[in-house]
Structure 1
Amino acid sequence: MRLTSRLALLALTLLSCLPARADEGMWLPLLLKQLNEADMQSKGLKLTAEQIYSVNQGSLKDAVVQFGGGCTGEIISDQGLLLTNHHCGYGQIQQHSSVEKDYLTNGYWAMNRDQELPNPGLTATFIVRMEDVTSQVLAGVPTSNITEADREKLVQGNIARVAQAAVQGTHYQSFIRPFYNGNEYYMFVTEVFEDIRLVGAPPSSIGKFGGDTDNWAWPRHTGDFSIFRIYAGPDNKPAAYSKDNKPFKPRHHLPISLNGIKPGDFTLVFGFPGRTNEYLTSWGVDEVYSLSNPAKIKVRDAKLRILDQDMKASDKVRIQYAAKYAGIANYWKKWIGETRGLKKLDAVTRKQEQEAKFTQWAQAGTEAQKAAYGPLLPQLEKNYRAVRDYTLARDYVTEAALGVELLAYANSLLPLVDMVEKKASAEELATAVARAKKGVAGFFRNYTAATDQKVATALLPLYAEGTPTALLPAYVKNLQKQYPGKTGWATYVNSLYSKSKLTSEASAQAVLDEVAKGNVRALADDPAAQLASAIITNYRAAILPTYTTHTDQIALLQRTYVAGLRQMQTDRKFYPDANSTLRVAYGQVATYEPADGVKYDYYTTLDGIMEKADPTNPDFEVPARLVELYNTKDYGPYALNGTVPVAFIATNHTTGGNSGSPVINGSGELIGTNFDRNWEGTMSDIMFDPDRVRNITLDVRYMLFVVDKYAGAGHLVKEMTLVGGPNGTAAPEPSKEVKKMKVKQKAAKVKA
């Protein structure tokens, strides 16, 4: 693939609305040569941009996958071995667990290929190539006098056509995403593998060591990793699960360095960051800071307390809700840290200062510039103020009302009622009911009605009290009158759960059997379905239209604002917000000082695990085998200065989705797996601060130590390409694996 001259020129003139300070940015691999290569090499990178991203030969990108829908993984052997975080594989580990086979608590290790466990629905997605398709996507789309909704219809039509044409006649897939708030569009051609098997996972006392106490915190001592394997068909292409499939042979796998790290060492994070909003206006930041985050934190705090109590009281509930709890808790604590970080940075004021400069620039320009950008910020302010109540109402529906699993489940079945009322054909209804019946067992496998009833008792009052009164459904207002106060809500919830037929697998199947016969009232008259229907119908009629109108207008204005900022600041590199596409972030190993008189070192060790050990606290239990290895100092080749390194921090710009991302040294070798950020730096999704933001990485030597010495799964280590040792240099020359990659790329260029 060749870059057009237009793309090359555009890349050289990309701008930023805020100064792009050291190590800030999530960069498109396609543009590294133009934008970042020189800077990366000045910080210690020994590779070229072509060795990081190439479409002609194997490169680092070919060892990086999107794991499932929301994490990253890396290929660490020529037999498809895949490394990611323990919390990324947590759902799969949970699905394989039971009270009798508790892999969450005890861990799991496949000692041969036959013991590797399939995971239906799990995928690993490689990026084959990227392409700027802005001109194709915006072809025929007016630049003015069009609503955002109408513009989006035209854009989506073009996207569907371009994406389909790109992969027609191949086994590849493709998708197109907007960048810079819709000013540009890039296409990603992908290869998606669907036979992914669980190979190994440490016990939770290693993989989740520190639990919620240490989550989003440094210093950290969590062995946050799990290992899977990609399988392919006989042609090494994606194939559905089959016992006859063979381990996938990748175009490149990451060699693993045992040489360690030191402050100032170059680090590269390659992955799929989920979502950032670096270019929000002051009103957008204020909405997050003062409105949305506090509401969501309040709701999740109540839910987590209940789940925690019930999970501690029952092993069955603990296993059922383990993955759910982890997901809820993760962003609950993140939002708390983000809110504190935005306050500490005085983010709203800093955004206002930027907006004042923008206004001054707009008014000082040509008449066309004044017309395009002069009215922009007042219009954004007007729309943000108008949408506040609707944003709050929406948050309470999604977090509180649908945070009750019974209501969320009932809501998922309501389309069946609509189908009957709209007189769908018997065949269409039968297909839909069969699909619903198929999902019943899966839902109830991880559901306990008694626990969910406690959640409903806590969350429904929060929903009713937190939603602006004018936006509450009449049905809920009547419930408030009929069942006043918190005791009233408890009485109502008792009645709801005792009368609903959607609280158990058998009765839910019976309801669906009735619907299949045409008796839709069996579902429509269920009290859970009635409450869910009232809330969602009101949401769609009274909340969503106004919310959409204003957010569409904000999106249009934000796109224009970003375009204006790029015109205003021609001396700044402009990186796109994260949108779950492949990105490179780079930085250096570094300490940091979060507060006056506090300074954190850049690494932690096994000694720290033993210092934190507390058998009375589930977050800090240490398995006996790990204690034994510590006491005997049986560390193998993974030790440094008489202990085992566990984790380290660096200045890379990361976010959700970067979980499991490889952290790579300047020679293209794996030195760790990214798994978190420091709490003080979680505001980096909105505003980056190089003095406070640090990504937290599992040192690859601790992973190897656990696999080899703790689990006795040395056969997995033998698959990997290990480089150096504890006495090696911190910045070794490229390994044989990387040198081979470089030779192949040179040969390809000569041939071309």
Structure 2
Amino acid sequence: MYKRLVLLVLAGVLSLGSLYANEGMWLPLLVKRLNEADMQKMGLQLTAEEIYSVNQSSLKDAIVSLGGFCTAEVISSQGLLLTNHHCAYGAIQTHSSVEQDYLSDGFWAKTKADELPNKGLYARFLVRMEDVSQQVLAAVKEGMSEEERAAAIAAVTKTLSEQAKGNSHYDVVVRDFFHGNEFYLFVYETFTDVRLVGAPPESIGKYGGDTDNWMWPRHTGDFALFRVYSAPDGKPAPYAAENVPLKPKHHLPVSLQGVQEGDFAMVFGYPGSTDRYLTSYGVKQALEQTNPTRVKIRDLRLKLLKEDMDKNKDVRIKYASKYASVANYWKYFIGQSKGLENLDVLSKKETLEQEFTTWVNASEDRKKQWAEALPLVQQSYEQSYEANLSYLYLAEAALGTEIIRFANTFRSLETALMSTETDQARIASLIASLQERTSSHFKDYNAPTDRKVMEHLLRLYYQDVPKKDHPEIFQQVEKKYKGNFVKWAADVFAKSMFASEAATLAFLQKPELKKLQADPAFAAASSIINKYNKEIYPRMQPIQAQREKGNRLFVQGLRQMQPDRKFYPNANSTMRLTYGTVGSYAPRDGVIYSYYTTMEGVMQKKDNSDPEFAVPPKLDELYARKDWGPYANSQGELPVAFITNNDITGGNSGSPVLDGKGHLIGVAFDGNWEAMSGDIAFEPQLQRCINVDIRYVLFIIDKFAGAGHLVEEMTLVYPDKDQQDAKLAPATLIKAGQ
């Protein structure tokens, strides 16, 4: 153990000066031109064509957008998908009950017949992407207003999408990049029959809970398994008994070789959103208003939910996924503000903007093109504070109240019922959709909990938002209930049909406009949404258009000012590749963090009195016997997680971490606390991507869950073929050198 510590310290000291994160979320289409040479110098042994190709099988064919909120990867020839436990959490929770608690106990399908369907979940594969900037921008004429520009772009992108789709079953979308300076077309194939195959218990998949969230060192087995099914002809099809496991164009070989300090690593996935070109004015608003407001509201909401979850197991299961979702970004916004302040991001942004202004003012031609860029952005932020506050309370407080959010989904039915020309087919379709939504909503709903949330969050809305931006319903609370939100909420829940599944379904059997509009929850939802749509949003529109124009000009000018820099676009849920290396880091003076963790750390944190750090008995037994199977490293340790300096963000959860040969070595699941400002300003010395080691994933599947049949599906890569475990012999084997 002492020898290991010495080696880790030495490795950390040697690497810290040179092991900086590689900034950039790169479009795979452009890897050959922008990144291939750099990547190969760092250890990539593949060509750009083997990473992204439309003519042959390539890595991109094994990467999927899972539900539009996470990434997953194909790891067998039978459509087996690997992603994060927290990405599968909603699906696991949906299938759970007090009697059959898959959240607490885990789930493992013994056969394909036992795999569980998940309505609404999809796996989307990228077929191809294409640069259509020239065609789109040809529609933009000088002197157009922002509204006219947007309309012209919308028209041409619609035409391009329709042409690319033709008569195919593909989905096509055109997205803008660099704040509207470039446009790319994406063609996708979407499979909607995605079944849950396996998931460890929360005590493994969420080990460390909220305490360890966004932290390193980490000891979380954050993974789960799904399977993609297709029609017998291989095409996408809705869930059906006759569907068959998908035969993918490519699946990732799974490496047991392990990772070492300095090893090349790349992450392939669908990062959700970054704002790397955000100006100092945007940073200032985030620090002064947006982040503190979101944290304040979510902090209260979490406390209210936890009170009831701790008292009742049924409520805990119903609200587990909701709580985790709220908590994740509650902590994120706290960390982002700390990161922005600690790393002095505001000052750095201001320095860049001063440089930009000096460069622009040095040329009359530049002044004509870009002089208004930053003033437009500055004015838009200065004018937006009141409206932004109202939006935040709408999104976080009003729509954080479930009865308000649920009632609001009936507004389309109200519109249909109000129409002078009754469209019975349209009404019937809406009713069917709302009946389905009602059943889904009440499965995971507890009215007493939501009533408490409504009392507190709507009172906060009332107190913090300027009176001129109050929805009309607040005047009723003042007059009828003397400003008492507890009494108001009690009355709403006593009288609203939206507090009861039976009452809601009864209404849908014979919907009446008058009854809908008289419902107190619907009236509250309508009042709040109408206030925003009719007064606040119209105030924001010209401000937002002004900001969009300023940002577009700023980024356009910045790229001209720095012609030798390789620019990458902000994340926008399209496929990206990032590359870097495995490595330790120094978060603060006198501290060096190792690049990997082991099972020893799980046991050091163990506290069975704390649900976040409880260790299941079976894992205890395996630890006591040091029964690691073939998954230990060369020191006899069982690796759990490791870190790389890849550039990731939300949406990358579940992304594969690949070595230089394109073999799977881990699954990305988090970023680190010290670099939480990374979505806005990348910090090269601190940014780290936290990954569960694939060997820990295999250990849990095989040794803990006894689901070795799933491992047998995979193509395993061993350092030495002679090291294979007899139990795993049926699996496809590849020597590491191949």
Given the two structures, how large is their TM-score scaled by the length of structure 1?
0.92
**Residue in 2 that maps onto 1:561:** 554
Partner residue, 2:333 = 335
Structure 1 position 22, deviation (Å):
4.6
Aligned residue in 1 for 2:279: 281
Matched with 1:647 is 641
Match of 1:533 in 2: 526
Question: Does the C-alpha gap of structure 1 residues 166 and 327 become closer, same or farther in structure 2, counting only changes over 3 Å?
Answer: same
Deviation per residue, 1:33-88 (Å, 9 max, x gap):
11111111111111111111111111111111111111000111111111000111
Could you report, residue by residue, the CA deviation over 1:685-708 in whole angstroms, capped at 9, with x for unpaired residues? 000001111010000000000000
Aligned to 1:181, what secondary structure does the other structure show?
coil
Listed as ranges, the matches of 1:109-124 within 5 Å are: 109-124=108-123
Which of residues 491, 494, 510 is equivalent to 2:506? 510
| Residue in structure 1 matching 2:382, options 367, 381, 385 | 385
CA distance in 2, matches of 1:397, 1:657: 24
The equivalent residue for 1:66 is: 65
Corresponding residue for residue 368 of structure 2: 371
Amino acid at match of 1:390: A
Q: Is the 2:83–2:653 contact (alpha carbons within 8 Å) kept by the matching residues of 1?
A: yes
- 8 Å CA contact 2:73–2:81 kept in 1: the answer is yes
The residue aligned with 2:397 is 400
Consecutive unaligned residues in structure 2, runs of 5 or more: 1-19, 724-732
Counterpart of 2:504, as a letter, is A
One of 670, 673, 676 as aligned partner of 1:679 = 673
Partner in structure 2 of residue 252 of structure 1: 250
Matched residue, 2:28: 29
- Which among 239, 242, 257 is matched to residue 241 of structure 1? 239
Cα deviation for residue 639 of structure 1 reads: 1.0
Q: For the Cα contact (< 8 Å) 1:64–1:126, is it kept in 2?
A: yes
The reply on whether 1:599 has 2:592 as its aligned counterpart is yes
The one-letter code sitting in structure 2 at the alignment partner of 1:332 is W
* One-letter amino acid matched to 1:268: M
Q: Equivalent residue for 1:351?
A: 349
Q: Answer whether contact 2:214 2:671 (CA < 8 A) is retained.
A: yes
Unpaired runs of at least 5, structure 1:
1-20, 730-734, 741-752
Alignment deviations for residues 327-354 of structure 1 (CA, whole Å, 9 cap, x no partner): 1111111111111000111111111111
Task: Give distance in 2, aligned partners of 1:625 and 1:95.
Answer: 25
2:383 partner SS: helix
CA gap 1:612/1:327 in 2 versus in 1, 3 angstroms: same
Pick the aligned partner of 1:466 from 452, 464, 467: 464
User: In the TM superposition, what is the alpha-carbon distance from 1:276 to its structure 2 partner?
Assistant: 0.3
Cα deviations across residues 359-409 of structure 1 (Å, max 9, x unaligned)? 1111101x2311221122122111110011101110111100111001111
2:11 corresponds in structure 1 to none
Q: What root-mean-square deviation, in Å, do the aligned CA atoms of Structure 1 and Structure 2 show?
A: 1.8
Identity %: 50
Partner of 2:418: 421
2:168 counterpart of 1:170? yes
1:551 aligns with 2:550: no
Q: Is the contact made by 2:72 and 2:656 (CA closer than 8 Å) also made in structure 1?
A: yes
| Partner amino acid, structure 2, of 1:627 | D
> Bigger shift: 440-449 or 469-478?
469-478
User: What letter is aligned with 1:361?
Assistant: W
Give 1:342's aligned amino acid: L
Per the TM alignment, residue 306 of structure 1 is displaced from its structure 2 partner at its CA by: 1.2
Among residues 482, 496, 500, which one is paired with 1:500 in the alignment? 496
Counterpart amino acid of residue 607 in structure 1: E
DSSP 3-state at the match of 2:187:
strand
Kept in 2, the 8 Å contact 1:138–1:158? The answer is no
Tell me what 1:747 maps to. Answer: none
CA contact (8 A) 2:715 2:734 kept: no
**Higher alpha-carbon deviation: 471-480 or 639-648:** 471-480
Is the counterpart of residue 578 in structure 1 residue 577 in structure 2? no
Could you tell me which of 153, 156, 159 is aligned with 2:154? 156
User: Any residues of structure 2 matched to 1:516-527 within 5 Å, and which?
Assistant: 519-527=512-520
Give 1:431-446 correspondences, 5 Å limit: 431-446=429-444
CA–CA separation in structure 1 for the residues paired with 2:721 and 2:469: 65
Q: Does the aligned pair in 1 maintain the 2:716–2:734 contact within 8 Å?
A: no
Of residues 454, 457, 468 in structure 2, which corresponds to 1:456? 454
Q: Give the conservation status (yes or no) of the 8 Å contact 1:260–1:726.
A: no
Q: 3-state SS of the aligned residue for 2:597?
A: strand
Q: Is the 8 A contact 1:258 1:726 kept in 2?
A: no
Distance 1:195 1:408 in 2: 28
**Could you tell me how far apart the structure 1 residues matched to 2:136 and 2:736 are?**
37
Query: 2 CA distance for matches of 1:608 and 1:220?
Result: 8
Does the alignment pair 1:666 with 2:665?
no
In the TM superposition, what whole-angstrom CA distance separates every residue of 1:145-173 from its partner, at most 9, and x where no partner exists?
22222221221121111112112132322
Q: CA deviation at 1:416?
A: 2.1
Task: Report the secondary structure of 2:293's partner residue.
Answer: helix
Once the two structures are superposed, residues 205-248 of structure 1 have per-residue CA deviations (whole angstroms, 9 ceiling, x without a partner) of 11111111111111111100000111122222222222222211
Task: Give 2:620's aligned amino acid.
Answer: V
Shift of 1:712: 0.4
Change (3 A) 1:332 1:727: farther
Query: Residue 384 of structure 2: SS of its match in structure 1?
Result: helix
User: What is the match of residue 746 of structure 1?
Assistant: none
CA distance in 2, matches of 1:281, 1:436: 42
Report the 3-state secondary structure (helix = DSSP H, G, I; strand = E; otherwise coil) of the residue aligned with 1:87.
helix
1:617 to 600, 610, 615: 610
- Equivalenced residue count is 708
Letter of the structure 2 residue corresponding to residue 205 of structure 1: S
Q: Give how far 1:436 is off.
A: 1.7
Q: What code does the residue aligned with 1:576 have? A: P
Following superposition, the deviation at residue 727 of structure 1 comes to 11
Shift in Å, 1:418 = 2.7
The answer to whether the Cα contact below 8 Å between 1:638 and 1:726 also exists between their aligned partners in 2 is no
Provide the rounded CA distance (Å) in 2 between the counterparts of 1:737 and 1:437. 54
Tell whether the 8 Å contact from 1:512 to 1:523 is kept in structure 2 after alignment: no
CA distance in 1 between counterparts of 2:705 and 2:600 reads 19
**Distance between the aligned counterparts of 2:736 and 2:125, measured in 1?**
19
Contact 1:259/1:728 (8 A) holds in 2: no
Q: Secondary structure at the match of 1:79?
A: coil
Query: Which residue in the other structure is 1:697 paired with?
Result: 691
Shift of 1:131: 0.5
Aligned equivalents of 1:466, 1:108: Cα separation in 2: 44
Secondary structure of 1:553's counterpart equals helix
2:378 and 2:81 mapped to 1: Cα distance? 47
Going from structure 1 to structure 2, the CA distance change for 1:738 and 1:614 (only over 3 Å counts) comes to closer
Amino acid at match of 1:159: T
Give the whole-Å Cα distance in 2 for the aligned partners of 1:198 and 1:474.
Answer: 45
Q: CA deviation at 1:737?
A: 9.5
Note if contact 2:170-2:187 (Cα within 8 Å) is conserved in structure 1. Answer: yes
Does 2:87 match 1:88?
yes
Equivalent-residue separation in structure 2 for 1:164 and 1:374 (angstroms): 38
In the other structure, the counterpart of 2:13 is none
Residues in 2 aligned to 1:171 and 1:391: alpha-carbon distance in whole angstroms: 40
176, 197, 200: which one aligns with 1:199: 197
- Residue 49 of structure 2 aligns with an amino acid whose one-letter code is E
Task: String of CA shifts for 1:281-338, please: whole Å, max 9, x gaps.
Answer: 1101111121111101110111111111211211211111111111111111111111
Is the CA contact 2:720–2:735 (under 8 Å) kept in the aligned structure 1?
A: no
Relative to the length of structure 2, the TM-score reads 0.93
Q: Which runs of 4+ in 1 moved over 4 A?
A: 481-485, 725-729, 735-740
Question: 2:193, 2:238 within 8 Å by CA — same for their partners in 1?
Answer: yes
Q: Distance in 2 between matches of 1:693 and 1:109?
A: 35
Q: Which moved more, 1:267-276 or 1:404-413?
A: 404-413
